[in-house]
A and B are shown apart, each in its own frame.
Chain A
Amino acid sequence: MSDHKSHVEEYGDDLATLDEARSATISRERLGDVKDFWPGFTASMGEKRSTNDVRIGARLARQWALGAAGLLVVIGVSVLVPKLFRHGGPPAPPEKAAVNFRIDSVKIDEEPAQALIFQTQDQGSTFVWVEKQL
């Protein structure tokens, strides 16, 4: 606080006063009625209880997400590979450069992370967004 006081002495008029800061920020009174978070909380707890273990629930969700991503890759590969290795018949038309990838698990700082896959409408680009679980 002493540092802050010395700043105040140094900068004087260039600093907003306490009253100015109070009116610029949102006080509890200005918020009016605040939502009751209890129903949402109990609903979340109920969902978690149904799986008996929060971590198991989160792990299952991740496994489902990764499984779905893996399935997409498998389907993509199963369509692509026969085309590439087809013997006989007319030569296959030149394919666009294809990049195959596979996600087994995603971690950030040794913690399981969430992977989201986006594809542009022309299917020319695929983005894999990985973020920490909250």
Chain B
Amino acid sequence: MTLASRGRAVTVVALLLLVGVYVRALMFTPLERFQGAAQKIFYLHVPAAWSAMLAMGLVGLASVLYLILRDARFDRFAAASAEVGTAFCVVMLTTGPLWARPVWGTWWTWDARLTLTLFLFFLYIGYLLLRQAVTDPGVRARYSAVLGICGTVLLPFIHLSVYLFRTLHPQPIVLKPSAPSLPGVMLVTLLYSFGVFTLLYVGFVMQRYAVGEEGAHV
């Protein structure tokens, strides 16, 4: 069984579990009384944000390892993770405004969390464009690694921006020093969705890595 076919199998399982997230979130998780149905966007938005950040974190880690070990597999992994992270970033940046419009009364506001998240998206796009623009594999890997590390440096600022700046964005409800502040049934749905989005990330990266591996042998 090749890496690509294993990645496809993981993706199919993750997609089936994602159907479960939809069913659980829409039919078996109660409405939040102040935000109404729009609050349920949270079960997709937050895990998508988690996957986008996980992806960039692993791009940075693989980039550091590439610069130290000069092993092309780390560069291929970083490229795969960046592309997958871009897809999750698109989900995060579309579901966020769809939640903000009914709850805040505006699609977008230039506060620290939202602006830094948009910057992360631009970094992803810049990373992918850089890889397309540089033809020499060694130079491409080195330049991409530097940009990947820069992207990773952004992550703590995004996470802490709600503490460091005055912002409309809600504070973390799960990834925080104290216990999660959600009713149990909502927390279970959220954690289930976290797991599914992480599995989707794994399946996507396995497939995308296989595409890069093939390109490296041409």
Whether chains A and B associate is: no
Q: Which residues of B are at the interface with A, using a C-beta cutoff of 8 A?
A: none
